[in-house]
Chains A and B, each alone.
Chain A
Amino acid sequence: MMKLGRPSWLQTRDAARSAGGLVLLVLAWDLALYLSAAPLLPRPWQVVLGLAELLTRGVLLKHIAASLFRVTWGFLLAVGLAIPLGFALGWNARAGRALGPFVQFLRPISPLAWIPIAILWFGVGDPPAVFIIFLASLTPLVLTAMNAVRNVPAVYVNAGQNFGLGTRELFLRILLPASLPDLLAGLRLTLGIAWLVVVAAEMIAVNSGLGFLIVDSRNAGNRYDLVVAGMVLIGLIGLLLDWTISRLARGFLRGRDMIGDTP
């Protein structure tokens, strides 16, 4: 049951196909605008020029850094609170029954609905944006951790107790490693949500970040080339974040056969 990597020529072929798809998409975009001559919407090369302009003006990296800063803090704070909380709720049936419905109740409320309250509590600038990211990440992470612990096969918990582990050790040596695959999948999904939300949050209470760039470019003279440049950046960075976390996850789970070993 050794795992064999895909041969390199197949990887090259896959990469070529992805690149080819992208090129076709950009060509279709350009062709559509050429034929329809829609006003204001930028052609691909105009977007590239827009990106270059942002770079030379020195604001590109500033906006990216601002967005990444907010998403990092909001996400990490949520992880720090949600994982222990979710573990406790998943492990202790009584606590789960008491607080579970509350978490489910919070879930359908869009994090953006919290913006007025975030501004009320934290004013303007980074704190309300970080708070929104934190909230958006919190509920999915709590639910992830809760379910991950509940899905740990009883046989592992029994074995751990049989070897004389106390509660703390049981968490560290059994529940955490046993639920790691589920946890990492949840972290990956939630990071996507956090990135989705940071941009929306930045359209309101701040004056930096990629969300701000988009709104500001429209307000300052309908610069739709910069609007689309901002969108392209968001997509690229989102892709990069997802790739990074899935790479990290694979590193953590090395040697573990996810399908074969979960009874």
Chain B
Amino acid sequence: MSSVATARLLPAEETTPAPCADTRPVKLRVTGVSVSFRMEGVQRTVLEGINLECREGEFICLLGPSGCGKSTLLNVIGGFLTPTQGQVLIDGQPVTGPDPRRIFVFQERGVFPWLTVEGNIGFGLQHLPAEQRRQRIAHYVEMVGLRGFERAYPSELSGGMKQRLEVARALAVNPDMLYLDESFGALDYITRHTMRRELLRLWTTEKKTILFVTHDIDESVQLADRVVVMSARPGRIQRVVDIDLPHPRDISAPRYLQYRDELLDELGVAHKV
């Protein structure tokens, strides 16, 4: 890139309609959400005045430095944390607690070590008749490539396999939203890369709305329809960047690199190490 200014200009022929033209129904609406609590006698504001809208089937990344409150925001949306102010609406209904229609995927440490692969995937399927349950489990075992490991315990699996297991456990209950909290952060570079491709594949086939928290710029440009950039202390939405690239995305393409540069600038990260 010759200069940052030209890097920010995207080729005109590839611009797409503005996001307001999106006709998909609004899935999630966050209005005026603030979170603050007392810590060691000082009132700390973790999130301030968050407004966010997400349409059905959208893939949104919450990107920001550690400590910017992006995980807190995801926990508020997930119903694990009540905001100090503001509200979260999903399908027009206020969120009052966690709900099986929206599954939170933690880092791979969320799988239950006392259950086998089958037991983990079937965890949310207790209400189904045995035969249907067995089929669902088999389907998702297959989908995340864990065939042959049905009877294995998580301690016998690698980090990437555990992560896939947790995603499978979430998908098995057929939720309409998935929340992923730096879910691939603990994996090695190559596994992380594969996992992103897998997630995109699942997203296209299963048509879920996905909120993905990350501090990894590349991850957000590779995955998201929109990247919500957050600033720290207090956590605010700094900017929303539409990533207007078709999947599969070429991570060496100039346009990909332009988005990457744009986000680097937005987060105030130097381009040189």
Contact = CB atoms under 8 A, between A and B. Distances in A.
Contact of A178 (B98, B114, B155): B114
Interface string A169-194: 00001100110100000000000000
Contacts of A177: 112, 114-115
B110 interface: yes
B124 A163 contact: yes
A255 B154 CA distance: 8
Interface residues of A, number: 23
A159 B110 contact: yes
Contacts of B103: 162-163
A53 interface: no
Interface in B75-115: 78, 80, 97-100, 102-104, 106, 109-110, 112-115
B112 A162 contact: no
Nearest to A158: B80
A82 to B, nearest CB: 22
Given A162-B100, A178-B114, A255 B153 contact: yes
A162 B113 contact: no
Interface in B137-157: 153-157
A156 B113 CA distance: 10
B109 A153 contact: yes
Given A163-B123, A164-B99, A255-B116, A1 B106 contact: no
Given A163-B173, A177-B114, A155 B106 contact: yes
B128 to A, nearest CB: 13
B110 to A, nearest CB: 5
A162 B104 contact: yes
Contacts of A262: 113
Interface string A1-29: 11000000000000000000000000000
A1 B156 contact: yes
A30 B102 CA distance: 72
Contacts of B106: 155, 158-159
Contacts of A257: 113, 153, 155-156
A221 interface: no
B100 to A, nearest CB: 4
B155 A255 contact: yes
Interface in A95-150: none
A261 B113 contact: yes
A156 to B, nearest CB: 7
A222 interface: no
Given A158-B80, A158-B98, A164-B124, A261 B110 contact: no
A141 to B, nearest CB: 21
B153 A256 contact: yes
Nearest to A180: B114
B100 A163 contact: yes
Nearest to B108: A263
Contacts of A164: 98-100, 124
Contacts of B110: 155-156, 159
Given A156-B112, A257-B113, A162 B78 contact: yes
Contacts of B153: 255-257
A180 B106 CA distance: 22
A220 B146 CA distance: 70
Interface of B: 78, 80, 97-100, 102-104, 106, 109-110, 112-116, 123-124, 153-157, 173
Given A162-B104, A260-B155, 18 more contacts: A1-B157, A155-B106, A155-B110, A158-B80, A158-B98, A162-B98, A162-B102, A163-B100, A163-B123, A163-B124, A164-B100, A164-B124, A173-B123, A177-B114, A178-B112, A180-B114, A255-B153, A256-B153
Q: Which 5 A-B pairs have the closest CB atoms?
A: A257-B155, A255-B153, A261-B113, A177-B114, A164-B100
